[in-house]
Structure 1
Amino acid sequence: MGHDVRGIPRDHDRAFAGSRRGLDLAEGILIGWRRYPPTAAFEELVDVASRHALSVSAVALALVSLAIGDADVAAPSAAATLAAQRQWSDQLVY
């Protein structure tokens, strides 16, 4: 991770760390729901992102937001939210 002269992470590094955490959480959700190995969970995220012309990180954040029931947590785009709802909303149990 890149840091400025004071050792503080640069903004793009913070954004990357946040998207990496979102990706890890989304993979964990799919691993739990579908009993997937990590590679299959990632492949599903990539597949959904590809089909909807979105980034994997956007789809991952939308899945996390959908799974915890709080659309404001990750502030995913409307397109990513819709893709996540179409793909996974039938699996949610609140």
Structure 2
Amino acid sequence: MSRYHAACDELHLPKNLYDLEFTKEGQRLGLGFRKNYYRIGRHIDRFGKNIIITDRADWSTDQIVRASLDRYMVENAFRQTKDDDLVSLQPIRH
């Protein structure tokens, strides 16, 4: 069970997506597992949702959502500043 929990932690998954069943028959140990489709569905339903937090109380909901959607431009600009081929500093010799 601890290995299953460690694998879930490593993959950032909830531990209740599968139902585990341990059995012991004489000297043999057995493990059975089943997908819990309800819990998997609930987990998938949470994908793609964003919570937008702002201090712009004077903006309309539309303005807040548009500003949030336009953040990709700022994120792309930051990515460009980290690109070694585009922005590189080398020692200048004179």
Structure-2-length-normalised TM-score: 0.31
- The structure in which a higher percent of residues are helix is 1
Q: Which has the larger radius of gyration?
A: 2
- The structure in which a higher percent of residues are strand is 2
Structure-1-length-normalised TM-score: 0.31
Greater relative CO (CA pairs within 8 A, separation 6+)? 1
